Amino acid sequence: MAATDTGSADATRHAESALQAALDAKQAQIAALESELEETNRGVVALYAELDTQAQQLRQATDLKSRFLSYMSHEFRTPIASIRSLTRLLLDRVDGPLTEEQERQIRFIASTSTEFSEMVDDLLDLAKVEAGRVEISPGWFELVDLFSALRGMFKPVLVNAEVSLVFEAPPDSLPLYTDDQKLSQILRNYISNALKFTQKGEVRVSALRNDDASVTFAVRDTGIGIAKEHHHAIFHDFAQLDSPIQKRLRGTGLGLSLSKRLAELLGGTVDMQSELGVGSTFSVTLPLRLPQPETRTQGE
């Protein structure tokens, strides 16, 4: 009997010893996990701190770039305006007649200064958008009035007799509540590009009311078109096509990128469909009424 009791006690102590060993091992595992978790947390905190620092540096770099573009654009405007004024005076023969070669050279200067002026305007607008200083001032207006203004604006620049600019009659009595100046700027960019890269045929501007209380403006041309591999980048900053006509007709590549950002500020989207050698259609879809009717600034 005594031997049996001794055996039971030994078995109990052995079981308790095994249980304690298991508990000690589990606690060691928990301690190791806690240590690993603490180290991971320290790494996460350090990573967040580094990300905050990088984000701050990125904001500062963006701000510096925007300020530089704004300053540069303002400083360029005065000499550009002087050049354009002088070329107009010379072409008007204010100081006397010009030879054929002199007129050709002066017109080249005038054309180049106009391109330079457009580049400066694009850079300044881009700087304002990136700095969040673009004011959106919506109001009610009719599409027929917008199309009429655009038609009058482009009439003097239609110098290619083989290209016609057509404005389709907009839907009857379709009022729009948005910033008409920003919308006009988007469509001007579209139309200018279409006329620049269309050597024969037409550029057609249209507006279509959608079922979801939005309207889609489209500018369709019969120009050089865009290869499919370039479609993804066409609305990026400084995007340009590699073609003979593109090399001949210089530009900043900012107009479409700026149009995309302006459309987003107006609560809309841009789109493009194009086939190389056939033509392109650039569109912008906007809500019939801007979600926030009061005057606002980007970023508010």
Note whether 152 and 270 are same-domain residues: yes
Residue 292: per-residue pLDDT: 63
pLDDT value of residue 245? 46
Same domain for 147 and 267: yes
Q: What's the pLDDT score for residue 293?
A: 47
Final residue belonging to a domain, choices 111, 133, 155: 133
What is the predicted pLDDT for the residue at 80? 85
Q: Are strands 135-136 and 279-287 parallel, antiparallel or unpaired?
A: unpaired
Return the C-alpha torsion angle 53, 58, 64, 70, nearest 10.
-150
Do residues 104 and 221 both lie within one domain? Answer: no
Residues 145 and 288 in one domain: yes
Residue 271 CB partners (closer than 8 Å, separation 6+): 282, 283, 284, 285
Per-residue pLDDT at 50: 83
Query: Could you tell me what percent of the chain has a pLDDT over 90?
Result: 29
| pLDDT (0 to 100) of residue 186 | 94
- Dump pLDDT digits (tens) for 18-76: 787 888 888 888 888 888 888 888 888 888 888 888 888 777 776 776 677 666 666 77
Reply yes or no on whether the pLDDT at 272 is more than 90.
yes
More confident call, 223 vs 13:
223
| 167 and 229 inside one domain | yes
Residue 294 has pLDDT above 80, yes or no: no
Residues 111, 94: one domain?
yes
| Highest-pLDDT range among 72-81, 92-101, 164-173, 279-288 | 279-288
Q: Is 98 a residue whose pLDDT tops 50?
A: yes
- CATH number for the domain that contains residue 178: 3.30.565.10
pLDDT at residue 162 in the model: 92
CATH number at residue 103: 1.10.287.130
Residues 247 and 202 in one domain: yes
Does the pLDDT value for residue 237 go beyond 70? no
HEC string for the chain: CHHHHHHHHHHHHHHHHHHHHHHHHHHHHHHHHHHHHHHHHHHHHHHHHHHHHHHHHHHHHHHHHHHHHHHHHHHHHHHHHHHHHHHHHHHCCCCCCCCHHHHHHHHHHHHHHHHHHHHHHHHHHHHHHHHCCCEECCEEEEHHHHHHHHHHHHHHHCCCCCEEEEECCCCCCCEEEECHHHHHHHHHHHHHHHHHCCCCEEEEEEEEECCCCEEEEEEEECCCCCCHHHHHHCCCCCCCCCCHHHHHCCCCCCHHHHHHHHHHHCCCEEEEEEECCCEEEEEEEEECECCCCCCEECCC
pLDDT tens-digit map of 104-113 = 898 889 888 8
- Number of folded domains in the chain? 2
Q: How confident is the model at residue 289 (pLDDT cuts 50, 70, 90)?
A: very high
pLDDT for res 300: 46
- Span 197-209, mean pLDDT? 93
> Taking the mean position of all CA atoms in its chain, how far away is CA 179?
17
Between 2 and 163, the more confident residue is 163
Q: Which has more confidence, 268 or 239? A: 268
Q: Is 243 a residue whose pLDDT tops 70?
A: no
Q: How far is CA 82 from CA 14, 90, 91, 227, in A?
A: 102, 12, 14, 40
Residue range(s) defining the domain that contains residue 86: 1-133
pTM: 0.66
Question: Which of 116, 133, 150 lies at the terminal end of a domain, its last residue?
Answer: 133
* Residues 143-193: tens digit of each pLDDT: 999 999 999 988 888 878 899 999 998 877 788 999 999 999 999 999 988
Residues 122/255, Cβ–Cβ less than 8 Å: yes
Which of 133, 168, 201 terminates a domain? The answer is 133
Does 203 share its domain with 292? yes
